[in-house]
Chains A and B, each alone.
Chain A
Amino acid sequence: MARRRWPLIPSSEITPESVYLNRRQFMKGLALGAGALALAGCATPPEPTSTPTPAAATPVAQATAAPGLLPPPDAAPVASAQADELGDALTSHEAATTYNNFYEFGMGKDDPARNAKDFVTSPWTVQVGGLVGKPGTFGVEDLIRQFPPEERIYRLRCVEAWSMVIPWLGFPLAKLLQAVEPASDAKYVRFETLLDPQRMPGQRSGWYDWPYVEGLRLDEAMNDLAILSVGLYGKMLYPQNGAPIRLVAPWKYGFKSIKSIVKIDLVAEPPASLWMKAAPNEYGFYANVNPDVPHPRWSQATERRIGEGGRRETLPFNGYAEQVAGLYAGMDLQANY
């Protein structure tokens, strides 16, 4: 797992946006293969031979930011590294911000980027309560000041068998939970997305039981991998990525990482998520990435990495077994999917 403090010191002047096989190079990419991903230039077709030029170490992200805050979503994308700890290249900024599942803004992959364009995410507060000693309502900007975001480069594995590598900015969820002092009978964390069919047109569809709800066991939530993300690629989140604040739990399928959170409650019983209610035989409470638990539609044994041709094998816990497998010691992961 790669992590850096924000503001970021970019390792080179080229934006990581260029590190990918852009879809226009898809046909070329099928021939090139994953090894040749360090390509330069995104507007111009990349040449496999070009090498990154070393750059002056300017904190690009800081330069455009308001004091204590992140640069706006449309600032230039930056990341401190071009690959995750396994050497897998970052997914392009373009793909990460235009190919999204966020049903509050429509069911097509390109719907969220289009329909969430004018979604206003400031001011925004998160109400934290339930079985806690110090409940409170926190403005997102105050959270960012209180818990300075750090960069985490994580793989994102969607249950639909596609995946990305994304440089998130965020802070450990544990920090916020500790600040509100969980009571001894708090065993689970329940998250809720904004419910506002006026601003989130997808919520007018009757296919799902809105609002979006997700949950973690408290020890999962306390694991250092679980973050509340407020940005990606060195700047604030776009609405389609779950602005202004979202969960990222990289060892679980993407749908667990709930977006645009307004409410976090500590509770005694496992909360029923939107997907568990919609299709209990397909989606369980844990939803850990597990190549051995099949899904009726999508492969869980293999996945398509966006930007690559073909398929790669899916790793148990999405490659984070070392950090999280202990949470599930002795549990039957076939039954607890």
Chain B
Amino acid sequence: MRKISPLQLLVHVAALIPLAWLIFDAATGGLSVNPIQDIEQRTGKYALVLLVLSLSCTPVNILTGWAPVLRWRRPLGLYAFGYAALHFLAFLGLDYAFNLRFIWADVANKRFIFVGLAALLILIPLALTSTRGWQKRLGKMWRALHRWVYLAGGLVVVHYVWAVKSDIREPLLWGAAIGAGLLIRTPPVRRWILAQRARRLTAKQRGAEASRSA
């Protein structure tokens, strides 16, 4: 077992707090009189937020050069999948009591459910192949496979936009966050940012040398 650093621990704690909070609310009457909807909406929202955070690690690393953030990608992504799975289970079990006739009657004509399902179906193989072993086994394929996470993110944003009645500002904001992260990691933009950082770094070093020799 590798040792878990305090920074790693922080991610696990932060990602589990929403679940603890949800359970606490459910147990103490903190949910509304439509608790099933609360649970569905909150687990869905946590899944999306964690997914966006996971997708933000690489861009943050490019922008700041801070390396430890890269080790957050996998746990954040896995927690996103965990909340998405809870979200789906709440839908099947709490909401529909696994009544397949009800589910089919309700879901057959709901486009927002289909894109949600598509997102979940993408996240499943990504979660399963997130281990170091699979990373080695798949080699180059692994990166190609895990790029699909952006498609999953886009589908979740569409799912959210179609799930709300009129005010679509919030889902669009999360969509913009995913888009900005994607932009930062496209090779030309990434190269440009890294070049800027390198320039500033050398400028600083020269300044330091100059002050030392003075």
Residues in A lying within 8 Å of B, measured CB to CB: 22-24, 26-27, 30, 92, 94-95, 98-99, 107, 109-110, 162, 207-208, 278-279, 294, 296-297, 299, 301-302, 304, 306-307, 309-311, 313
A26, A296, A309: the one contacting B29 at CB < 8 Å is A26
B34 at the interface (CB under 8 A from A): yes
A162, A278, A301: the one contacting B166 at CB < 8 Å is A278
Query: Which of B65-73, B99-107, B124-132 touches A?
Result: B99-107
A-contact 0/1 string along B156-194, CB 8 Å cutoff: 000000110111000000000000000000000000000
Q: Taking CB as reference atom, which chain A residue is nearest B28?
A: A24
State the Cβ distance, B77 to closest chain A Cβ, in Å: 28
- Docked complex Cα distance between A277 and B106 (Å): 25
Residue contacts A-B, CB under 8 angstroms, 10 given: A24-B28, A26-B26, A27-B26, A162-B34, A162-B37, A278-B166, A296-B112, A297-B110, A299-B105, A313-B102
Q: Is the CB of B112 within 8 A of A23?
A: no
Q: Taking CB as reference atom, which chain A residue is nearest B113?
A: A297
B203 at the interface (CB under 8 A from A): no
- Docked complex Cα distance between A4 and B106 (Å): 37
* Chain B residues whose CB sits within 8 angstroms of the CB of A294 once the complex forms: 108-110
- Docked complex Cα distance between A110 and B33 (Å): 10
* Chain A residues whose CB sits within 8 angstroms of the CB of B99 once the complex forms: 311
Q: Is the CB of B34 within 8 A of A99?
A: yes
B31 at the interface (CB under 8 A from A): yes
Q: Is the CB of A23 within 8 A of B35?
A: yes
- Docked complex Cα distance between A233 and B32 (Å): 21
- Docked complex Cα distance between A98 and B33 (Å): 9
- Given the interface pairs A95-B33, A99-B33, the reply to whether A309 lies near B94 with Cβ below 8 Å is yes
- Docked complex Cα distance between A310 and B32 (Å): 15
B20 at the interface (CB under 8 A from A): no
* Chain A residues whose CB sits within 8 angstroms of the CB of B85 once the complex forms: none
* Chain A residues whose CB sits within 8 angstroms of the CB of B26 once the complex forms: 26-27
